[in-house]
Amino acid sequence: MEVLNRQESQEYERQIISQLICSRLNRCEITASNSHTVRTEYPESFGSITQPSEETPDDSSQNELQASTGLPSHHTYGLELLGMKNLHQVYRNLSIPELVEHAVMRGEGRLADNGAFCVETGKYTGRSPNDRFIVDEPESHHEVDWNRINRPVSEAIFEQLYQRSLEYLQGRDLYIFDGYVGADPKYRFGVRVINELAWQNLFVHQLFRRPTTEELDNHHADFIVIALPGLRSDPDRDGLNSEAFILLHLTRQIVLIGGTHYAGEMKKSVFSLLNYVMTKRNVLPMHGAANIDASGHTALFFGLSGTGKTTLSADPNRRLIGDDEHGWSEDGIFNFEGGCYAKTIRLSQEHEPQIWSAIRFGALLENVTLDPITRKLDYNSDRLTENTRAAYPLEFIPNSVASGMGNHPQTIIFLTADAFGVLPPIARLTREQAMYHFLSGYTSKLAGTERGITTPQSTFSACFGQVFFPRSPMVYAQMLGNRLLHHPQTQVYLVNTGWSGGPYGVGKRVSIQHTRKMVSAALNGDLDQVNYKPHPIFKILVPESVPGVPPEIFDPKLTWHDPIAYDRQALTLAKQFAENFKQFANAPQEIAEAGPVGEVVSC
């Protein structure tokens, strides 16, 4: 009796599964009959690194592959131009039911009782910022803001891992998604994602913009993403930090991902590419949500995790343009994506009915606890992670905007969750203050949200998501300032969804009902008719009243039992703002002076 070693056993299992899928779905015959209609194009820049080290296999090698697997040769949809050869089966833009069938047959996850497909991502249940690198090469070197977030990796290491990925792919099944990012046809980019897992291909199918049949026949790939969770780095040999790696080549517009199953790495890597290339087309890329009312008035919502961005932008009285990534061009706002990637921890039908209803067949759930027998979901469980996620197409939201486009914004909301209880619940910002707070990107982390955090801590992330922006934050802030200058009707507000009456543990969180009323007043123009007074430390303009909201909450100092303690806490936070802003030494003086002062100023 022949005994297979582990590697041979895995290879045998992979081939058996592949043959079962081919038999079940009859894809081989379909692929062969349709192969002559497929045309795939790549930019010339891909060829400079992706040519195979050997010549593309000839017919004899294809015949050898056929003999070894028992399967007919097949079309590779241009993957040979990327150096990929000796592939097993290649599937391109399968339908949602087909992708779910493939994922089920491969044992990649399970179906929940509501029809959603559930997976567990293993060790990595969130992004791995320490394993994200940007290739340091001459053309983009001077444009990248090199820092602890944008870490460099040499072209030699990139090429080394790319060649290793080509070896890894031989004999494997692959899934291709050809689609787009950018709802505005003037600014959209073709994206090709290559996956070894069917469920990850389902993810990108739902998150990016899906092509029509005609667009698919003539698809042009500007961006290439290769996601191989099973390929691990050797940190000692490759000079990286762990077995996981996310490598971005900005000039060649290629992303190489390995060692992590977390699907958000694909989404945010493409976002990082867009944040680099969109600035060259005079489009301000933004990490924020957008919605629009019946009159065509568009609003933007910026905010870090935990500030209420998703909740407040999902307004039943307004239509959702998108929940996370947008561009602001000379023509207006447009969504980069075609889907949503929502957090689901403690999700309830009562408080987030739109997200609840969107989780059905075709949706993908990451790390949500699933009863193995009843297949019921437990959204309250953090057994695997607090960062449980749902991915679904935008059309699963009933009042979404199919075009993904909107007018220039009339209102911009900066959201913060101030756990120190010193910021007012809402304040209007001048253009200079808007640029200052955009560069600051302040919120606070609470005890328990991360290991080692026992008291509230200030968090500053420029552009409300600095980890996704390759260029200097000043580039994006100047673009925002220019747009506010050209659109003076646009009002910017800072909304604190955090604490009032004292810091976390003493005060209480601002009522979500009150926050909704304040945001609605800003969106409806009601705040244009009220009086304002500047905050004595932060200098932002605080309204004296908002319809339906108790007036005493607008002066945060009055909500504290000890006004001296309030001033002390407010000045401490002001100093943290000033310390953080030292990194922007090249900021114009009027922007730097728009920040808080170091002592209480009587108003």
Owner of token pair 């998604």: 177
With b for 16 or more beta-carbon neighbours within 10 A and e for fewer, the 211-226 pattern comes to beeeebeebebbbbbb
User: Catalytic one among 132, 389, 437, 514?
Assistant: 389
User: Catalytic one among 18, 272, 310, 344?
Assistant: 310
Q: Give the separation between CA 408 and CA 489, rounded to whole angstroms.
A: 10
With b for 16 or more beta-carbon neighbours within 10 A and e for fewer, the 48-59 pattern comes to ebbeeeeeebee
- Residue 389 neighbours by CB under 8 Å, 6+ apart: 263, 264, 341, 342, 343, 344, 365, 366, 367, 368
Amino acid at residue number 259: G
Alpha carbon 348 to chain centroid distance? 23
User: Catalytic one among 74, 88, 268, 437?
Assistant: 268
Question: For the chain, percent helix, then strand, then coil, each to nearest 5?
Answer: 35, 25, 40
User: Catalytic one among 287, 297, 483, 557?
Assistant: 287
- Compute the C-alpha angle 278/465/519, nearest 5°: 100
Closest CA to 87 of 55, 65, 56, 60: 65
User: Catalytic one among 261, 324, 458, 514?
Assistant: 324
Looking from the CA of 536 toward its CB, the CA atoms found within 13 Å total: 16
For the question of residue 74 being annotated catalytic, the response is no
Q: Give the separation between CA 361 and CA 364, rounded to whole angstroms.
A: 8
Q: Give the separation between CA 349 and CA 341, rounded to whole angstroms.
A: 17
User: Catalytic one among 74, 106, 309, 514?
Assistant: 309
User: Catalytic one among 92, 102, 127, 483?
Assistant: 127
User: Catalytic one among 45, 69, 73, 305?
Assistant: 305
For the question of residue 310 being annotated catalytic, the response is yes
Alpha carbon 124 to chain centroid distance? 16
Q: Give the separation between CA 319 and CA 292, rounded to whole angstroms.
A: 5
Q: Give the separation between CA 335 and CA 325, rounded to whole angstroms.
A: 6
Classify 99 in phi/psi space as left (phi over 0), alpha (psi -120 to 50) or beta: alpha
- Residue 127 neighbours by CB under 8 Å, 6+ apart: 262, 264, 265, 268, 467
With b for 16 or more beta-carbon neighbours within 10 A and e for fewer, the 525-549 pattern comes to ebbeeeeeeebbbbbbbbbeebeeb
Instruction: Report yes or no: 411 and 493 within 8 Å, Cβ to Cβ.
Output: yes
Amino acid at residue number 499: W
Closest CA to 182 of 35, 328, 363: 328
For the question of residue 309 being annotated catalytic, the response is yes
For the question of residue 305 being annotated catalytic, the response is yes
For the question of residue 127 being annotated catalytic, the response is yes
Helix runs in 401-489, H state only: 431-440, 473-486
User: What is the SS3 assignment for 439?
Assistant: helix
Beta strand spans in 38-127 (E):
90-92, 110-111, 117-119
Residues recognised as catalytic: 127, 268, 287, 305, 309-310, 324, 389
